[in-house]
């Protein structure tokens, strides 16, 4: 008898240093269905799919992947592809300069007599394009297609490999309305052809419209699997399952006190990314008062980091279409991070390795980098003064390292984050933007950072905390804003905020 399930992932556990990303996850997919996987950022969806596709190879996780009735031991993406599993990522993996047909058959070229048979390739590519209803010349370079059509090329590529299971990782996140609708139609057609689809998505409206089954993950565990025919798949029920967690007492309380005047304000900021021509911020307004921690919640890609970077001197050259920034009572759009720092704004990056720290340098170097003038006497840097300062911050913030001459590269995530914070505290900021301050660090270090944040606001600073983690935002903020698709979709006082309310705003569902 044929098995009803094409895929069963049994008791999958995957650990990273200090974090259990997946904890005994069970995930079953029926043959020929559209199965949606939902959950907050960090719930483990992407990790689960990486385990399935062989990115995290056999042996780095525990548990079994049973696919088409057999236990699979994938060691690479090539292994899973050979079995007919394809994954289509948010960031497309196409070669923009190459023609469509070459992209479709890249890596499994059609050969005859030891040569690539381009004519045959073009004919076959056309067939594949028809299957995804894309009527374009296959010899066109991929870069001339819009994002939606590029995604269709990716699907055509998966079809050309005779894939039986296609995983879509947030396929509609960068698509407009029409392209999204088209993509969902294509998925339905694939289903009719007997191809199984797994879709990871934050857009619950799409999920409820298309899914046969919905599995909810939370904190690395399977919470429930809902059948579209028999179970309640209303958005509110899904959200309840996505959040539904009690806030533990991990958030240190601070003395309640009155807030001072507004220290920093963004008014009607609208910004376009010149690379894509997309508006990444739409009419964003927010403010923060002296002594206040303001949370900025939202899902990945909501535009929070872009918002922070735009006001912090706009180093990536976004196009500011309108809006203003008011700091120290003056309206000022900073032209470089240097100007922003001078005025007392600081930004702790979400990507400490990418653009936060100089990893090959030591703690001392990184601590003082943003404020060297404070330790310069005349032309030269006073290294004695520097050592004193670096040691002071190391002790105060409790950076665990043998000495300040330790290369930042060799520190744990939590300690790297503390070095970042030390660097910005040394610039004596009035307004501190913390972007995902506790991402990828262990519980102990998290608590230390929360305590530090409380101390900072008590001393009169104000903090904007960008975070995807709901409990963190709710536990730490005095007030919070929620962002979705470049817009502020809500502002809540800490006393009235609940996880469900915030998640509704973040998903922008009504």
Partner 1 sequence: METKKKSFGSEVAELLKNNVKSYMMYFALVIIMLVFQIWSGGKFFKASNITNLFNQAAYVGVLAIGMTLILILKHIDLSVGYVAGFTGALAAILMQRDGVNEWLAILIVLVVGLVIGLYQGLTVTRLGVPAFVVTLAGMFIFRGLLSRTLAESGTVVVSQKGFLALCNGFIPDIPNKLGIHMVTMIVGVLGVIIVILSQIKNRKNKQKYQFEVVSTPIFVIGMILVSAVILAICWVLATYRGIPWSAVIVGVILLIYTFMLSKTKLGRYIYGIGGNDQAAELSGVNVKQVTLFAFCSMSVLAAVAGILYTSRLSSATPTAGNGFELDAIASSYIGGTAVSGGVGKVTNAIIGTFVIMALTNGMNLMMVDISYQYIVKGLIFIIAVAFDVRTRNK
Q: Which of 77, 262, 387, 494 binds partner 1 (CB under 8 A)?
A: 387
Q: Whose Cβ is closer to partner 1: residue 107's or residue 378's?
A: 378
Q: Whose Cβ is closer to partner 1: residue 154's or residue 435's?
A: 435
Residues 316, 322: Cα–Cα separation, whole Å: 17
CB neighbours of residue 47 within 10 Å: 22
CB neighbours of residue 3 within 10 Å: 12
C-alpha of 355 from chain center = 16
228 touches partner 1 by CB under 8 A: no
202 SS3 class = coil
Residue 472 Cα distances to 250, 438, 443, angstroms: 9, 9, 12
Residues 267, 273: Cα–Cα separation, whole Å: 19
Q: Which of 405, 410, 444, 460 binds partner 1 (CB under 8 A)?
A: 405
- Find the length of the chain: 510
8 A C-beta contact, residue 347 and residue 309: yes
Residues 440, 49: Cα–Cα separation, whole Å: 19
Q: Which stretch binds partner 1 (CB under 8 A): 171-179, 219-227, 258-266, 381-389?
A: 381-389
Q: Whose Cβ is closer to partner 1: residue 247's or residue 372's?
A: 372
Q: Whose Cβ is closer to partner 1: residue 61's or residue 365's?
A: 365
> Least CB distance from residue 375 to partner 1, whole Å?
9
Q: Which of 336, 410, 428, 498 binds partner 1 (CB under 8 A)?
A: 336
> Least CB distance from residue 385 to partner 1, whole Å?
12
> Least CB distance from residue 343 to partner 1, whole Å?
11
C-alpha of 35 from chain center = 22
Q: Whose Cβ is closer to partner 1: residue 78's or residue 372's?
A: 372
Residues in Cβ contact with 318 at an 8 Å cutoff, skipping those fewer than 6 apart: 271, 272, 273, 274, 280, 306, 309, 310
Q: Whose Cβ is closer to partner 1: residue 273's or residue 279's?
A: 273
Question: Is residue 80 within a helix (H) or strand (E), and if so which, with residue range?
Answer: helix 77-82
> Least CB distance from residue 316 to partner 1, whole Å?
9
8 A C-beta contact, residue 225 and residue 215: yes
Which residues are bridge partners to 224 per DSSP? 216
Binding residues for partner 1, rule CB under 8 A, total 35
> Least CB distance from residue 439 to partner 1, whole Å?
17
Q: Which stretch binds partner 1 (CB under 8 A): 30-38, 82-90, 214-222, 364-372?
A: 364-372
C-alpha of 1 from chain center = 42
For residues 408 to 437, the per-residue mask of contacts with partner 1, x marking binding by CB under 8 A and - elsewhere, is: ---------------x--------------
> Least CB distance from residue 349 to partner 1, whole Å?
6
Residues 437, 351: Cα–Cα separation, whole Å: 10
Q: Is the dihedral of CA 347, 351, 355, 361 positive or negative?
A: positive
Q: Whose Cβ is closer to partner 1: residue 182's or residue 427's?
A: 427
Residues 318, 87: Cα–Cα separation, whole Å: 31
76 touches partner 1 by CB under 8 A: no
Interface with partner 1 in residues 338-357 (CB under 8 A): 338, 340-342, 347, 349, 354-357
Q: Whose Cβ is closer to partner 1: residue 270's or residue 391's?
A: 391
Q: Whose Cβ is closer to partner 1: residue 241's or residue 314's?
A: 314
Place of tokens 């995983």: 167
Interface with partner 1 in residues 276-335 (CB under 8 A): 312, 315
Q: Which of 175, 381, 447, 494 binds partner 1 (CB under 8 A)?
A: 381
> Least CB distance from residue 372 to partner 1, whole Å?
4
Secondary structure letter of residue 280 according to DSSP: E
Which one, of 3, 85, 19, lies nearest residue 49 by Cα?
Answer: 85
Q: Whose Cβ is closer to partner 1: residue 65's or residue 341's?
A: 341
Q: Which of 359, 392, 430, 451 binds partner 1 (CB under 8 A)?
A: 359
Encode 444-475: b = buried (16+ Cβ within 10 Å), e = exposed.
ebbebbbebbbebbeeebbbbbbbbbbbbbbb
379 touches partner 1 by CB under 8 A: yes
Structure tokens at 217: 């993950």
Place of tokens 């396929």: 171
Q: Which of 27, 56, 67, 365 binds partner 1 (CB under 8 A)?
A: 365
Q: Which stretch binds partner 1 (CB under 8 A): 140-148, 266-274, 373-381, 491-499?
A: 373-381
Provide the binding-site residues for partner 1, judged by CB under 8 A.
312, 315, 336-338, 340-342, 347, 349, 354-361, 365, 368-370, 372-373, 376, 379-381, 383-384, 387, 391, 403, 405, 423
């Amino acid at each position: 008898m044929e098995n009803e399930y094409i895929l069963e992932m049994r008791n999958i556990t995957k650990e990273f240093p200090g974090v259990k990303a997946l904890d005994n996850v069970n995930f079953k997919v029926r043959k020929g269905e559209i199965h949606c996987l939902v959950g907050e950022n960090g719930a483990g969806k992407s990790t689960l799919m990486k385990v399935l596709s062989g990115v995290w190879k056999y042996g780095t996780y525990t548990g079994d992947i049973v696919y088409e009735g057999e236990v699979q031991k994938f060691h690479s993406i090539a292994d899973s592809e050979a079995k007919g599993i394809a994954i289509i990522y948010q960031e497309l993996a196409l070669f923009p300069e190459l023609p469509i047909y070459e992209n479709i058959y890249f890596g499994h070229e059609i050969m005859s007599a030891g040569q690539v048979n381009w004519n045959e390739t073009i004919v076959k590519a056309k067939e594949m394009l028809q299957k995804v209803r894309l009527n374009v010349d296959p010899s066109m370079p991929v870069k001339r297609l819009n994002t939606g059509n590029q995604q269709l090329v990716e699907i055509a590529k998966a079809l050309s490999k005779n894939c039986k299971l296609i995983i879509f990782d947030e396929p509609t996140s960068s698509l407009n309305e029409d392209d999204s609708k088209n993509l969902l139609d294509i998925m339905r057609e694939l289903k009719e052809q007997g191809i199984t689809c797994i879709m990871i998505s934050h857009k619950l409206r799409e999920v409820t419209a298309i899914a046969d089954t919905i599995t909810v993950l939370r904190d690395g565990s399977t919470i429930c699997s809902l059948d579209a025919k028999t179970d309640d798949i209303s958005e509110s029920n899904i959200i309840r399952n996505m959040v539904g967690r009690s806030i533990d007492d991990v958030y240190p309380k601070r003395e309640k006190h009155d807030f001072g005047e507004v220290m920093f304000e963004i008014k009607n900021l609208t910004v376009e990314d010149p690379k894509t021509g997309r508006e990444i911020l739409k009419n964003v307004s927010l403010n923060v008062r002296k002594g206040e921690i303001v949370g900025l919640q939202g899902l990945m890609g909501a535009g929070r980091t872009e918002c922070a970077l735009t006001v912090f001197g706009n180093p990536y050259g976004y196009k500011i279409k309108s809006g203003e920034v008011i700091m120290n009572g003056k309206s000022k759009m900073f032209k470089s991070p240097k100007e922003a720092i001078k005025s007392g704004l600081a930004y702790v990056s979400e990507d400490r390795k990418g653009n936060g720290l100089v990893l090959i340098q030591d703690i001392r170097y990184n601590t003082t980098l943003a404020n060297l003038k404070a330790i310069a006497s005349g032309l030269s840097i006073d290294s004695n003064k520097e050592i004193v300062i670096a040691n002071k911050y190391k002790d105060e913030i409790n950076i665990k390292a043998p000495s300040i001459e330790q290369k930042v590269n060799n520190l744990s995530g939590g300690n790297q984050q503390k070095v970042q914070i030390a660097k910005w505290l040394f610039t004596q900021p009035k307004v501190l933007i913390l972007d995902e301050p506790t991402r990828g660090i262990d519980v102990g270090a998290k608590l230390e950072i929360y305590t530090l944040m409380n101390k900072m606001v008590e001393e009169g600073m104000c903090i904007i905390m960008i975070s995807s983690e709901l409990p963190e935002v709710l536990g730490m903020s005095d007030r919070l804003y929620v962002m979705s698709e470049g817009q502020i979709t809500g502002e809540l006082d800490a006393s009235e905020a609940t996880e469900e309310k915030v998640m509704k705003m973040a998903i922008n569902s009504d």
